[in-house]
Amino acid sequence: MRHFFSHRRDPRGSDPRWPGQDGRGEARRFHRDFGDGERGGRGSGPFGRHGHHGGRHGGRGGRFFESGDLRLVLLRLIAERPRHGYELMEEIETRLGGAYRPSPGTIYPTLTLLEELGQIAVSATEGAKKLYAVTPEGERVLAEQKAEADALFARMDAAGGEAPAAGKLQILRAMHNLKLALRLRLGRGNLSEEQLRRIVEAIDATATRIERE
């Protein structure tokens, strides 16, 4: 993974990740330097100061969210139900109609910052994945910023094609489920030729049925 942070030497002679002995100070430096969006000039990207729309990979070249927006988006999504980082990336992409997908280098430092601020907490772990839940402090922040969150989610719907129809969202979710299932199964390895053949046949058969609909 590409590292956005440079290690600083602790003048006190302790952990080089200072400030923050567990490395969480890195998240604060990330948001100080880059805000909540991808790297790029301020105002670039669909949610920047100078526009509301962008291409499929708009977030990769510039900032998609204004400073603080992504924190509020993640906090509200986690308040709906506990989620892990990968699921949050998929949910944002789905809500935006596939127009933008935040990178792990954007999502995980923001989650770390929210945890550091006491607005979310790890409620469970699923293997290497952390499941985040909102805290009372997070609920308080959401209540205080309800108007901002409502406006932000309305802009997200507009950027995704003026509130995508439920059918489109269902298709996107199904596509993500298929991709995740394939990724997990291939990641386990040890696929026999027969298993591989059945998987390929199932995908091909589904594609054929979709074409005929």
Q: What is the pLDDT of residue 174?
A: 82
pLDDT over threshold 50, residue 207 = yes
Q: What is the pLDDT of residue 1?
A: 43
Of residues 26 and 137, more confidence is placed in 137
What domains, with CATH codes, occur in the chain?
25-164 (1.10.10.10), 168-178+187-212 (no CATH)
Q: What is the pLDDT of residue 64?
A: 63
* 13: phi then psi, degrees, rounded to nearest 5: 85, 15
Range in 49-53, 94-98, 155-159, 181-185 with the lowest mean pLDDT: 49-53
End-to-end CA distance of the chain: 41
Kindly report whether the global pTM for this prediction surpasses the value 0.95: no
Residue 29 CB coordination number (10 Å):
16
pLDDT over threshold 60, residue 17 = no
Mean pLDDT of the chain: 73
Of residues 93 and 55, more confidence is placed in 93
Tokens coding 7: 């290690």
pLDDT digits (tens, 9 = 90+) for 143-188: 999 999 999 988 887 776 654 555 666 777 788 788 888 888 888 8
The secondary structure of 116-169 as a DSSP string is HTTSEEEEEEETTEEEEEE-HHHHHHHHHTHHHHHHHHHHHHHHTTSS--HHHH
* Listed ranges 42-46, 86-90, 162-166; the one with the highest mean pLDDT: 86-90
* Listed ranges 39-43, 143-147, 207-211; the one with the highest mean pLDDT: 143-147
Q: What is the pLDDT of residue 102?
A: 87
